[in-house]
Structure 1
Amino acid sequence: MIVAVLNSKGGVGKTTTALNLAIGRALEGRRVLAVDGDRQGSLLAAIAQREGRTPAIASAQYTDGQVLRQQVGLAKSVYDDIVIDAGGRDNSCLRAAMLLADLVVIPFVPRAYDVWALEDMQELLAEGRCVKDIDAACFLTMADPRGADNQEAASQIPAGMRALAVMVGRRKAIAESAGQGMSMLEQPGRDGKAAAELGALVAAVFH
């Protein structure tokens, strides 16, 4: 399965999401390729931190949309799952990943600017759907522990995107683990709630 973690707005947790999806599937015994389509190379750097750890996850970086399309097309016969992080802007990699994916996953933060930015993704999806049918699903990340902002943001998801019935909170442990190239799924005793949220995300995306 090819999953593209996309949002034309930065700072919404795309790389952390992609990393956790890749690790989650690798923990299930799947052969996983993590593809970094962002010039910053954050996902590639995170995977590099895993050297010597199991499960091992293959990684690659393609910052040109045509190259990404060609290389992922070749890789899909080798790997069970491919997770693509295309960065936080409308560019050739984002558009290529959108058309390659079996599922586009769109993380967003429960803030007005982030909800409004979903309209940009709605337009990009509409353009892509002129070429192929695209399954796109949103979920709240860095969600608030309390208050009405989460529910209000979730209620404003634009047409053309379905909502995943999961929510990942704003948790220090998730960010710290990602910085070490790890997932809370590998160390559930550190923060059980965070591990449960990420496990639910992996299940919602792949199962």
Structure 2
Amino acid sequence: MKGVFDVIVAVISEKGGTGKTTIAIHLAGWRTAAGSDVMLVDSDRQGTATYWVEVRNDLKLPTPSTVQSFQRSLRRSVLDLTRHYGELIVDVGAGDGVGIESILRVADLAIVPLQPNELDIWTVGLLDELAGDARAVNEKLDVKAVLNRAPTHHANTDAQAAQTALEQCQYIEATNLTIRERSSIRRSVLAGKLVNEWQPRDPKGEQELGAVYELTYGVTVSGEMFGSVAV
């Protein structure tokens, strides 16, 4: 774990709907609030991260720089950007095998969000293979999985089944982090905000996404960042 020394952080998924963009924009938003020189690279053709930045700019909220780059040009673009920005967060398109393979070869850390269901679990094997191939040329690469959009009903056992499947991976590290399906998270993103800027406040959503931030950077989200005022 390289913590605050991570320069290139990628959020990747083989399947859509895992909430990877939500994680990417929260990492970028909180790093911006912490005063870091951050570039958010939107490599998903849906452009959700770019839309979020545009809405956030209209709200006059602290906003990371952003750029779009796709597939084969992604690796070159990312390496060029490291000359100008202290930190990069890359939101790679779901199922973009070329983009995923490209970014894993230069990333310091890749976060893999998975929904705790069979369809998402089936994709883990392919991602584990890609991570292994990338590690052969990028020894510094760490790949960590988090469960996202998990049911809020704690009697549901899908999350435990997903954790068991992740433990079979050779290159993807299973974590004990679970982000539940919460309307506060979904609505805040659509409104161009971070979960801690949404009203009414949702301490559980803030804590769950904050844990991913701590996993990524080795530091907690500060009280000032969690104290942002909704617009």
User: Per the shorter chain, which TM-score range?
Assistant: over 0.9
Mapped to 1, the partners of 2:164 and 2:146 lie a distance apart of: 11
CA distance in 2, matches of 1:153, 1:64: 29
Q: Work out the number of aligned pairs and report it.
A: 206
Which of 154, 161, 167 is equivalent to 2:172? 161
- The CA deviation at 1:202 is 0.4
Aligned counterparts, 1:134-153, within 5 A? 134-145=141-152, 146=154, 147-153=156-162
Q: Distance in 2 between matches of 1:160 and 1:83?
A: 21
1:100 equivalent to 2:109? Answer no
Secondary structure at 2:123 match in 1: helix
TM-score by length of 1: 0.92
What is the aligned partner in structure 2 of residue 181 from structure 1? 192
User: Among 49, 53, 72, which residue is 1:47 paired with?
Assistant: 53
Paired position in structure 1 for 2:69: 62
Question: Distance in 1 between the 2:33 and 2:159 partners?
Answer: 30
**TM-score, with length taken from structure 2:** 0.83
Identify unmatched segments of 5+ residues in structure 1: none
Secondary structure (helix, strand or coil) at the match of 1:36 reads strand
| Mapped partners of 2:145, 2:82: distance in 1 | 24
1:79-132 C-alpha deviation (Å, 9 max, x unpaired): 222110111113322222111210010000000111111111012112222322
Partner of 1:171: 182
CA distance in 1, matches of 2:187, 2:62: 19
Q: Counterpart of 1:12 in 2: which secondary structure? A: coil
Partner of 1:86: 92
Cα shift readout 1:22-75 (whole Å, capped 9, x = no counterpart): 11211211111110112221211111111143322100001132x222222122
Tell me the percent identity: 31
